[in-house]
Chains A and B, each alone.
Chain A
Amino acid sequence: MSLFTLGIARGLVGQVLGMVIGMLLTCAVRILLGWEAWAAEPAWTVGSVCSIIGFLLGVGSLDDWLKWTRGIQTPLVHGPPVDKPAWTRYFSVDYNHKVIGVQYTVWGILLLMVGGTVAMIFRTELARSGLQFLGLDLYNSFIGMHGMIMIFAILLGVGGMGNYLVPLMIGAEDMAFPRLNALGFWFNVPGSILLLLSLFIGGWDAGWTAYPPLSARGPIGYQLFFLGVFAIGLSSIVGSLNLLVTLLRMRPAGMSLFRMPIFCWAVFATSLIQLTATQLIGTSFLMVSVQRAIGMGFFDPRGILGEVSPMVGGGDPVLFQHLFWFYSHPAVYIFVLPGLGIVSELLPVFSRKPLFGYKWIALSSMAIAIVGFIVWGHHMFVSGYNDILRIPFMYATLLVAIPTGVKFFSWLGTIWGGKVHFDTPMLFVLGAISVFLIGGLTGPILATVPTDLPLHDSYFVVGHFHATMFGGFVFPFFAALYYWFPKVTGRMYNEKLGKIHFFIMTPAFWVQTLGQMGVGVMGMRRRIADYDPTLGQGQIENWQMAVTIAGFAIAFGVMLMLWNFFQNAEVGVSAGDNPWRSRSPEWQIPSPIPEHSFPAPLKVVGEPYDYGLADSGYVTTTSPGDD
């Protein structure tokens, strides 16, 4: 079998060829114009655009559509590839949502490891004051890298859970648009490769937020970073569109919106944000890219590009921040809503009790999604926009606490009076609640402008943000991995190792996040390569060391988890079809799930979470003849 039977190998070749062709094209145009043939920035920019297209052509994600343009019919192929080993489908274009879900998840975990490694490198640097082994520029590139790689990883994780679970939970045969679904995944690969490549051609030193004017004047790495984000954004848009249509159009008879598994509500709310807000970050980064490439001064107030193009100017740096945060604040809810959905989904199963206040939880997700659109200004409390407008943004931001509180209290109501089992997925759900509680409670102090003034852009924000991301995404994501691992592989992970992972990672994370907030209160700014050792009455170094050690403990825990999955995916103990005694549709069918998940259309016969109600069912999966 040749390597090029794998779609991803062809895609990578296509990406390299695309890059070369794009560069040659740029040189050719420049020669025609009578300019010097080689200019690094335009060459890399055009090359990067072409490289994304090259990858998609190479991997074969556009094949069917291209054939259609020539009038050739192509049937939707479902099933393992003919005359190739079955595993190769995971490395090629495949239209089964379960394969795409696994592709998303695995690629997400890979990026999670890369982003985590970058974090460990600069955490080591920060363990002591003074510069140990990182240069200033490399440090600045690394913090932005860590941020953006993690955002990619989270979006992939969210996509993985949504694509794998939503069709199963609503009993749909597949997603509404399988080809678009595959395209949505494959955008991520060239996108993340561009992002990683940017580090090797100069990096980019303005953090993941890439505020101009700094991002408009730094190294070429910015262009690859912008275009990488653009590709991921396209993935978000087509992926969320697909999920929305699937949720709205492919539910079986009898499954009203309020009878969907609660995770579907979370995905619905998240997809609404993704479909409508992602354009804004794409636009804002594209505008900086164009400003750099041809001197269009969108964000350039007075032609500070100087000799390069002396005529630019008339732009506004603060405008960028508005465009950027109009996506990037709701983006935080894109990351956490599915995670909170996982918490709501798993609590009833392990508490053996109905979800407390289903409708309230479902609508709280929608409320968070909607309010999320009018709070972006809190990221800009000190940016210099109209003073008075800070007040409505303060009120709007504090309002987010209300639907979030509804979730917390409803979770407590779910546990109360149940019969709680402490398997690893449940431990991670409880860990998620504890960590998201820390993240949530440290929100209002940042939302209130007077207390935000000292904390803004300090390490306190870093602690707060990591608590929301770990509580809202990482812990629930790990819970989901442990929970659905038996469904995906048909095998059980090692429970003891899972528990060890939990008991290392959770306290370590508490130390990390509280440590980060603590040094922020002392007066340490975020995004600095070196800090003043006299801060906090000289105690800051001890705190930093604790945060670094905790960070390594978390990394060790994640390694344990991956080892656990790797070990047991093929040879672990057989898990049976429904080890958690769940009522959800995906657990009523065999593990691993057959190619066509359900033998016949689902019939909804009851409520999703009627634990404790004798002789009640949620769905039946029998074929029509058995009725």
Chain B
Amino acid sequence: MASNRRHFIIASVLIVICTLIVYWVLDTVLLKPAAAVVEAGPIDYLFDLHIWLIAFLFALVGVFMCYALIVFRARGDEGDGEHIHGNGLLEIIWTVVPCFVVVYFAWIGTTMLIDLTEAHPDEYVVSAEGRQWSWLFTYPESGAVTPDLVLPVDTPIRMDLTSDDVLHNFWVPEFRVKQDTVPGMVTYVRFTPNLIGEYVLRCAELCGTNHSGMLATVRVVSQEEFKLWQSEQVAQLQE
């Protein structure tokens, strides 16, 4: 057992080092799109927390496995290993501890989800309709209908999503959140753009031949520019 203690100390040190390395590699290699909405903050934070968990558990299992394979390799002899059938206490520990971890993560997920889907009293509503293979946006306030989406910065947005034909999905990678559009019902998604720029809306639910090309431009503009754009649209409607 004394040698087991030595093994565990060495393995623990290796696990710490390995966790840091795996986290650093994943953090460097995984290239998230720019964050262009307020909601990306908490989502990316939870993403990062998950990466830490992945790094630690990968190190835990990986180090123990590789370590055991090296230390306990058969050195040419045909004998058998130790006759151990298991350890009830260990099994209970590695059943109960993960319970707390997953409930903790689920609890963070729950509170965050409630925040993400909560209605804002002053949200600006835009309707989007998916159709094979383009998008159509309607601004209820002005009655304007456009093929591209223009949104004011720093304004809570609610997109009301419908579909004319098959399932589609409203997803701007920079906005993180996504939501299916379903024929026969209105679904919705909420976000608050906070970065002025031009993004691409990409349909994320297989919708037939040109699914990969079902894109639309999304422009997040300053509130003044948005007012200006809106009045232009109204003027065009009146012509």
Q: Could you list which residues of chain A lie within 8 angstroms of chain B, going by C-beta atoms? A: 136-137, 140, 205-207, 211-214, 217-218, 301-302, 304, 316-318, 351-360, 382-384, 387, 390-391, 394-395, 398-399, 401-402, 405-406, 408-410, 412-413, 415-422, 430, 433-434, 437-438, 441-442, 444-445, 448-451, 453-454, 456-458, 514, 517-518, 521-523, 525, 527-532, 535-537, 539, 581, 607, 610-613
User: Which residues from A are CB-within-8-Å of B237?
Assistant: none
Q: How far does the alpha carbon of A517 sit from the alpha carbon of B47 in the complex, in Å?
A: 14
- When each residue 26-44 of chain B gets 1 if its CB lies under 8 Å from chain A and 0 otherwise, what string results? 0001111100000000110
- Which of B12-20, B84-92, B134-142, B226-234 has 4 or more CB atoms under 8 Å from chain A? B84-92
Q: How far does the alpha carbon of A410 sit from the alpha carbon of B106 in the complex, in Å?
A: 25
User: Which residues from A are CB-within-8-Å of B200?
Assistant: 532
Q: What are the 10 closest A-B residue pairs judged by CB atoms, nearest first?
A: A301-B184, A523-B173, A418-B81, A528-B212, A353-B81, A612-B83, A612-B80, A357-B86, A398-B102, A384-B187
- Looking at the complex, which one of B105, B204, B206 makes contact with A140 (CB distance below 8 Å)? B206
- Looking at the complex, which one of B82, B113, B117, B169 makes contact with A418 (CB distance below 8 Å)? B82
User: Which residues from A are CB-within-8-Å of B83?
Assistant: 353-354, 610-613
User: Which residues from A are CB-within-8-Å of B177?
Assistant: 453-454
Say whether B209 contacts A394, CB under 8 Å: no
Q: A383-B180, A395-B103, A422-B73 are in contact. Are A525 and B82 (CB under 8 A)?
A: no
Say whether A536 contacts B86, CB under 8 Å: no
Say whether B212 contacts A529, CB under 8 Å: yes
How many whole Å from B76's CB to the nearest CB in chain A?
A: 10
Q: Does B69 contact A (CB under 8 A)?
A: yes
Say whether B81 contacts A430, CB under 8 Å: no
| Chain B residue at minimum C-beta to C-beta distance from A416 | B68
Say whether B81 contacts A352, CB under 8 Å: yes
Q: How far does the alpha carbon of A419 sit from the alpha carbon of B77 in the complex, in Å?
A: 8
Contacting residues of chain B (94-142) with chain A, CB-CB under 8 angstroms: 94-95, 98-99, 102-103, 105-106, 108-110, 112-113, 116-117
Q: A352-B81, A525-B202 are in contact. Are A444 and B105 (CB under 8 A)?
A: yes
Q: A140-B208, A415-B72 are in contact. Are A356 and B109 (CB under 8 A)?
A: no
Q: A205-B209, A518-B30 are in contact. Are A454 and B110 (CB under 8 A)?
A: no
Say whether A419 contacts B80, CB under 8 Å: yes
- Which of B52-60, B145-153, B216-224 has 4 or more CB atoms under 8 Å from chain A? B52-60
User: Which residues from B are CB-within-8-Å of A442?
Assistant: 54
How many whole Å from A511's CB to the nearest CB in chain B?
A: 12
Say whether A448 contacts B95, CB under 8 Å: no
Say whether B180 contacts A450, CB under 8 Å: no
How many whole Å from B164's CB to the nearest CB in chain A?
A: 8
User: Which residues from A are CB-within-8-Å of B81?
Assistant: 351-353, 417-419, 611-612
Say whether A453 contacts B173, CB under 8 Å: no
19 A-B pairs within 8 Å (CB atoms) are namely A137-B209, A318-B182, A354-B84, A390-B113, A398-B102, A408-B61, A409-B91, A412-B68, A413-B87, A417-B81, A419-B81, A445-B47, A448-B105, A450-B42, A450-B46, A454-B178, A517-B30, A523-B174, A531-B212
Q: Could you list which residues of chain B lie within 8 angstroms of chain A, going by C-beta atoms? A: 4, 29-33, 42-43, 46-47, 50-51, 53-54, 57-58, 61-62, 64-65, 68-69, 72-75, 77-87, 90-91, 94-95, 98-99, 102-103, 105-106, 108-110, 112-113, 116-117, 165-167, 169, 171, 173-174, 176-180, 182-185, 187, 200, 202-213
Q: How far does the alpha carbon of A137 sit from the alpha carbon of B209 in the complex, in Å?
A: 5
User: Which residues from B are CB-within-8-Å of A317?
Assistant: 167, 182-184
| Chain B residue at minimum C-beta to C-beta distance from A446 | B50
Q: How far does the alpha carbon of A444 sit from the alpha carbon of B106 in the complex, in Å?
A: 9
How many whole Å from B202's CB to the nearest CB in chain A?
A: 6
Q: How far does the alpha carbon of A217 sit from the alpha carbon of B132 in the complex, in Å?
A: 13
Say whether B72 contacts A358, CB under 8 Å: no
Q: How far does the alpha carbon of A359 sit from the alpha carbon of B88 in the complex, in Å?
A: 10
User: Which residues from B are CB-within-8-Å of A352?
Assistant: 74, 79-81
How many whole Å from B200's CB to the nearest CB in chain A?
A: 7
Say whether A214 contacts B73, CB under 8 Å: no
| Chain A residue at minimum C-beta to C-beta distance from B183 | A301
| Chain B residue at minimum C-beta to C-beta distance from A357 | B86
Q: How far does the alpha carbon of A422 sit from the alpha carbon of B65 in the complex, in Å?
A: 13
| Chain A residue at minimum C-beta to C-beta distance from B105 | A448
Q: How far does the alpha carbon of A351 sit from the alpha carbon of B68 in the complex, in Å?
A: 10
Say whether A399 contacts B102, CB under 8 Å: yes
Q: A354-B85, A456-B178 are in contact. Are A415 and B91 (CB under 8 A)?
A: no
Q: How far does the alpha carbon of A137 sit from the alpha carbon of B208 in the complex, in Å?
A: 8
Say whether B82 contacts A353, CB under 8 Å: yes
Q: How far does the alpha carbon of A409 sit from the alpha carbon of B95 in the complex, in Å?
A: 10
Say whether A445 contacts B50, CB under 8 Å: yes
Say whether B94 contacts A406, CB under 8 Å: yes
User: Which residues from A are CB-within-8-Å of B113?
Assistant: 390-391, 394, 449-450
Say whether A394 contacts B169, CB under 8 Å: no
- Looking at the complex, which one of A360, A402, A418 makes contact with B98 (CB distance below 8 Å)? A402
How many whole Å from B215's CB to the nearest CB in chain A?
A: 8
How many whole Å from B229's CB to the nearest CB in chain A?
A: 25
Say whether A457 contacts B86, CB under 8 Å: no
Q: How far does the alpha carbon of A528 sit from the alpha carbon of B213 in the complex, in Å?
A: 8
Q: How far does the alpha carbon of A554 sit from the alpha carbon of B68 in the complex, in Å?
A: 27
Q: Which of B32, B73, B77, B206 has the most CB of A within 10 A?
A: B206
| Chain B residue at minimum C-beta to C-beta distance from A405 | B98
